[in-house]
A and B are shown apart, each in its own frame.
Chain A
Amino acid sequence: MTMTVWRIFCLASMVLFVAGVIALFVTRLLKNVYYHNFTQDELMRDAKTTNSRNAIYFTSGETKKYIKKYVVCKTAYDKYLVCNYAKSFSSVKFFVVEYTAHRRVLAVQQIVERQTGDASKVIALHRRCKYVNVVIGSVEGLEVNADVIRPLSLAKIRLYAFLKSFTIFLGLFVARHFLIELIVKNGAKYFMADFLNYIAIGGSLLLGLLSYFITVKCFRHRNTKAQSGGALEYEFL
């Protein structure tokens, strides 16, 4: 192949590489998906005390059977959450999903408590937390929600792995071309026809393929480790 053809390949690879990087960022394939969407809980009361501001919200959905309301207490430096149980439970597990002002999940805390009273222990919230949703997990052995975070689907994992591996391969292809033109200069045309060049390309391809399988395997392994109630998702694994 002439040098012009190689340069065309390099240019095409560069374009595809940029497209791949953009696709990886934009699609956010590994973004967490939640079972429950954000719900704007009903504000019961917003009281200002000497050194704090306390807002009481009613829970919603199936949670309200077990946890009636919660208070978000904001002091000068901290934020706390205390939940109000409907009654005393021998054991209860619930999730506190913290949201930013833009309603993006900031943190998810899993709280497990035994021999509860009417109120939970104080739960510290993130400084940037603006909203909270409380999702009941299990009550006295009765599982309501095993988890709030959906496990990644296998299709997404594979797509992500393929995109990343292929993008890396394209990036290596472009980098290889630039390095050759930079280092070998006038002999670049002959290096492109040399066996070493094809070894580099073939090696990139093989390692990219290996990277794909490793990525898929690692994510699957991770997903299976964090088994929760997303049984439907695991049917395909």
Chain B
Amino acid sequence: MSSFNHVEKIKYTSGQDSVVSLGEYILFEDTRAEEKFAVFKFFNNLNQKLYAVRFEVSQFDGSGALLEKSVLLHENFEAEANAPFVPNAKMRINFLCEKLGVKLLFAAFDRVKWENGEFKDNSYKFDRYAQTVPSAAPAPARVAAPAPKKSAQKQLKYGFSIRNVFRKNIAKFPKVFNVFVILVVLGFVIGAAFLFKNRSEMVYLDGFDLRVSDGRATICGYDGGQSAVTVPDKVGDYKITAIAKGAFSDRRIEKAVFGNQGELRIESGAFTHCDGLQSVSASAECGVIYVSEKGFENCPALKTVDLPTARLSRGSFSDSKQANSVCFDSFVSAEAVPLKDLFGGEEMTFKTVSVNCAEIPASFLEGVKAADFIARNPAAALGYGALKNVTLRITYGNWTGVSANSYYHYDSCDLLVDEVVAVNGESDTFILPSAVTKFEAGKFYRELSAVRSMKIVQMAGSFAPTAAFFQSFPNLERLSWSCASPEAGALQALSGLKYLELHAAAFSGNLDGLFGETTVSLETLVIDCNALPAGFFGEGRTGIVRAILLNTRAIDDLAGLSAQSLYLPATLAYDGALFGLLASADVNEFLFEGDKPQGAENFPENYVWNYTGIKDELYEF
């Protein structure tokens, strides 16, 4: 049981802003013992633990007079930060004290001391430190120098070391290696680029892939994307001389135009599989274009080939069978190639075929039909039957745009209108059509050299075989000629003539004059005329084995005739005048077609009557 008979709790309000303030106190009074004690409740207003505190306590009586002052010290305790605490002790005070006043003198916190109104650190004197710092010139900015590892370890021995451990995460070797990589790779690329530039033949200009050499270029590819391609004479500084295999293959081009001024070679496969290609063309002023075999292979849409300066090869347009208009110069090889072999197609039909060949062989239009054929070379040699498949118009030699119906294909030759344009070199028999008015036999010397037999019917026009004409038949052995007035010496070139038929109503001139200075030995001479003129046989220089008269009605004389036999037709009057002529003829045997005249006797034994074997002696042309 407590001896205190009076306990009073008093709230203390002043000095609350101090670091340690008194919140309230309790007065314990023992009136019998006249003792009074106080217990305080303080507040630690700092954010640190409080370990010691010293207060000055002023004691006042009931009237407020100061009774006494004392010092309250508490230490070796722990009060939490920002929390009240009650020291575990009572303070004896004056019994007459009614009121207390406290004043904080000292407080010791966790990391600081408070004394007389200010904080004091408990170890370092700032004033002293600040005064020792010299006011010197600005030192260069420095960060605490990172001590090397070894020296740091050494400094440990001396008790203090500072080391800057801040690091940027930079590994040096990878950086150096990366720079090395970059330099190596770029150096290689630059070197390789220069090396390639100096050695490479390939150049890409204006959409063309070019292989260049000595200022000339071959087109190896094209990716210009245009449907109408013009192959120029020059690309950049390079002259285009060739188009290589695959240059335009599988490209979507519809039209190809060549503008070369010099030679251009289109190699095999240059325009292969150009499915959309419809026309290829060049102007007449272009240079020569050589098209190799399969240069335009498999171009199914190709319709127009207009290359007037092109020289083609067999199969140049192989499998491009829709072409219907072709114009070119000639062929690469000396030998001409049939048109069907150019395109690889049979039964093709062309609207226009225009060529400039020196020779148009017989097989040129074989297997194809051409509506319009133009031979731009007027001196072109035409093969026998070459134009028989032309259906509409022909331009050849001096003939321009004549109807194809004016082309006549005879067994021996071809006529264009009335001119012999081709000769059948396969036959040894030549029958000259009557419609011929122009025949330059010298042009066909090669073919005519093979002719052994020739028949010249009565010409409808003005054409008259001359000596020059017959010179083209050096090997002629048999001639049937309907001509009343042959040119003197016309047959002088026919030294090998064995069989001669002359047909005319009447003759002018004589046999010697016909052969000129040439000595000929005829095996058979057939004279088909109404009247055999005097002196026809001349001086008899022309040797005759058999002389045959056909349809003759009158003989002036037989002077100069020297033959083995003489056939006399029944149209002659077998009378004394005739027999008188026969008596003077140098003929071994007289063959009479008719009967012996009645009443006539004593004919020579060399008179053969009713001779029927003459047909065997006449040559069938």
Contacts and interface: CB of A to CB of B under 8 A. Distances in A.
Contact of A186 (B124, B137, B204): B204
Contacts of B185: 172, 176, 200, 203-204, 207
Contacts of A214: 173-174, 177
Nearest to A109: B144
Contacts of A84: 111, 121, 123-124
Nearest to A171: B182
B182 A172 contact: yes
A50 B130 contact: yes
A51 B130 contact: yes
Contacts of A204: 181, 185
Given A82-B124, A111-B162, A44 B130 contact: no
Contacts of B123: 84-85, 117-119
A179 B127 CA distance: 69
Interface stretch (A7-15, A19-27, A189-197): A189-197
Interface in A163-178: 164, 168, 171-172, 175-176
26 contacts: A30-B169, A32-B168, A50-B131, A73-B130, A84-B111, A107-B143, A107-B166, A109-B163, A119-B123, A119-B124, A123-B144, A123-B162, A149-B165, A168-B178, A175-B186, A175-B189, A179-B193, A184-B193, A186-B204, A187-B197, A191-B192, A191-B193, A191-B200, A196-B196, A214-B174, A218-B174
A180 B181 contact: no
A111 B129 CA distance: 20
Nearest to A129: B143
Nearest to A212: B174
A51 B132 CA distance: 10
Contacts of A196: 192, 195-196
Contacts of A107: 143-144, 164, 166
A190 B169 contact: no
B579 interface: no
A164 B189 contact: no
Interface in B155-169: 155-156, 159-169
A37 interface: no
A113 B141 contact: no
Interface string B512-532: 000000000000000000000
B192 A71 contact: no
A203 B188 contact: yes
Nearest to A30: B169
A152 B171 CA distance: 12
Nearest to B210: A186
A119 to B, nearest CB: 5
Contacts of A148: 165
A62 interface: no
B16 interface: no
Interface string A116-133: 011101011111100000
Nearest to A29: B169
Interface string A85-128: 11000000001000000000111111111110111010111111
Q: How large is the interface on A (under 10, 10 to 19, 20 to 34, 35 or more residues)?
A: 35 or more
B66 interface: no
Contact of B174 (A2, A121, A172, A215): A215
B181 A187 contact: no
Nearest to A49: B130
A185 B159 CA distance: 71
B47 interface: yes
Contacts of B155: 112
A77 interface: yes
B111 A69 contact: yes
B204 to A, nearest CB: 4
A17 interface: no
B110 interface: yes
Contacts of A49: 126-127, 130-131
Interface of B: 47, 110-112, 119, 121-124, 126-127, 129-131, 133, 135-139, 141-144, 152, 155-156, 159-171, 173-174, 177-178, 181-182, 184-186, 188-190, 192-197, 200, 202-205, 209, 223, 236
B514 to A, nearest CB: 79
State the majority secondary structure of interface residues on B.
mixed
Contacts of A226: 167
B156 A114 contact: yes
A207 B139 CA distance: 47
Given A51-B133, A187-B196, A211-B178, A115 B166 contact: no
B138 A77 contact: yes
Contact of A110 (B135, B159, B162, B193): B162
A187 B130 contact: no
A216 to B, nearest CB: 9
A47 B126 contact: yes
A127 to B, nearest CB: 4
Contacts of A78: 133, 139
A208 B144 contact: no
8 nearest CB pairs, A to B: A118-B123, A30-B169, A68-B111, A190-B202, A49-B130, A108-B166, A183-B193, A218-B171
A234 interface: no
B139 A184 contact: no
Given A184-B196, A207-B185, A218-B171, 8 more contacts: A42-B47, A51-B135, A75-B133, A85-B123, A86-B111, A112-B156, A187-B196, A210-B177
A109 B160 CA distance: 13
A56 interface: yes
Given A64-B111, A175-B186, A187 B202 contact: yes
A190 B200 contact: yes
B604 to A, nearest CB: 104
A56 B121 contact: yes
A199 B169 CA distance: 34
A121 B160 contact: yes
A105 B182 contact: no
A36 interface: no
B110 A68 contact: yes
Contacts of B163: 109-110, 112
Nearest to A67: B111
A149 B169 CA distance: 11
Given A54-B126, A123-B162, A168-B182, A219 B133 contact: no
Contacts of A197: 192
